Amino acid sequence: MRWFALFLIGLTLSSAYNDEETKSHFRDHLKKYGKYYDNPVEYAKRLSIYAKHRAHQIMHNLKYKTGSVGWREELNEFADQASEEFLKRLGLAPGPPPNNTGNSIPASIFYQGQKVKRGLVDWRAKGKVGSVKDQKQCGSCWTFTASAVIETCVAIATGSVPDMSEQQFQDCLHTKRCSPGGGWPATALDFAQKQGQSFERDYPYQAHDGSCHSTNKTAHVGQRISGKGEDDLERMLQTGVVSVALDASTLQRYAGGVVDAPTSVIHNHAVTVVALINDCDGKAAQCWVVKNSWGPKWGEDGFFRIVKGKNSIGVANVLDTANFLVFELLE
């Protein structure tokens, strides 16, 4: 039986690297995503990368069918990017989170004495989550998750979900951050608390670095709340969505399902936890629903699920949200 399984794997990998078949799939990939490589050397390089991704995807999905992993993979728009190239565009600044804890209240203190119930919650079902956006080729994930937190803060306070400006954070907090370098959601939330955040209609996203400027209308949120660990994440999620920093290495080919990869201490991408649910494909009793910033065609309509209880891919290592109880619009 083991010999037969190895035979099937070998046959599958042979198919993945078959010249004509791979070339045909690659041409379809380029057409689907509107990509074009006119340099023969570059074309060959991208084809080789695509073939490696295809082989990995086939192997992974065989594991998914046997139940040894909880999520499926596909050849999406990132399938012609090397893993190292893909990781460079994610957007978190390298190194540990910024040492600005003086601007935040630890979750253990903020929720002390409050009657905050723990358990299942879905801010999408409550109509308090903004639309999925696309950071494109800019390393600006941290601006999108900070905006997502603020959009939910405003929605809870006013009943209407706004569209906040990621570009303002990009321009006003850092320079030349669209390229590798990035920033942190905590810094953006602190900025919004003190100076306010503009609306997308007044300060639209450009996916490149620009010059900081002011607008007439801004939204201010209250105190930033920080935490660590899945207990804090569950508690913080009861009062709003939560920005998290995690290891996105396993997400390049994610198609759907529940990510149940091991924990990680690497932080290279920032996203937003919007729900804790029990619809986990039988892989776990509960799982986190996470909003990404790679557009609605990625993953599960722009979202993905992570198993609860093992801090998979470091989902609960760095947590930030904002106190929506203090909110104002400045004209």
Indicate if 133 and 187 belong to the same structural domain: yes
The answer to whether 227 and 155 are in contact (CB under 8 A) is no
Domain presence at residue 258: yes
Same domain, 30 and 141: no
Please work out, in degrees rounded to the nearest 5, the angle formed at the alpha carbon of residue 194 by the alpha carbons of 189 and 199: 65
CB 70 within 8 Å of CB 283: yes
Structural domain tally of the chain? 2
CA atoms within 13 A on the CB side of 47: 20
Count, residues in the chain: 331
CATH number, domain containing residue 299? 3.90.70.10
Q: Are residues 206 and 252 in the same domain?
A: yes
Same domain, 56 and 174: no
Structure tokens at 189: 């939330």
The reply to whether 282 falls in a domain is: yes
Domain presence at residue 283: yes
Does some domain include residue 76?
no
* 44 and 151 belong to one structural domain: no
**Do 192 and 312 reside in the same domain of the chain?**
yes
Does residue 204 sit in the same domain as residue 287? yes
Is this structure's pTM higher than 0.85? yes
User: Where is the domain boundary, 49, 68, 87?
Assistant: 68
CB 146 within 8 A of CB 224: no
* Residues labelled catalytic: 141, 269, 292
**Are 62 and 106 part of one and the same domain?**
no
On whether both 174 and 310 belong to a single domain, the answer is yes
| Contact present, 58 and 16 (Cβ < 8 Å) | yes
Q: Are residues 231 and 306 in the same domain?
A: yes
Statement to judge: residues 214 and 264 lie in one domain: yes
In a domain? residue 261: yes
Residue 260 lies in a domain: yes
Inside any domain, residue 89: no
pLDDT (tens, 9 = 90+) of the chain, 331 residues, equals 444 444 444 445 445 555 789 999 999 999 999 999 999 999 999 999 999 999 999 999 999 999 999 999 999 999 999 998 898 778 888 777 776 656 788 998 988 877 778 899 999 999 999 999 999 988 999 999 999 999 999 999 889 999 999 999 999 986 566 765 678 999 999 999 888 899 999 999 998 888 898 888 888 888 899 999 999 999 999 999 999 999 999 999 999 999 999 999 999 999 999 999 999 999 899 999 999 999 999 999 999 999 999 999 999 999 999 976 444 454 4
Last residue of a domain, one of 14, 45, 68: 68
277 domain residue, yes or no: yes
Q: Which domain holds residue 27?
A: 2-68
Let me know whether 142 and 192 are in one domain.
Answer: yes
Given 43, 68, 93, the domain boundary residue is 68
- Residue 209's nearest CA partner among 181, 246, 245, 244 is 181
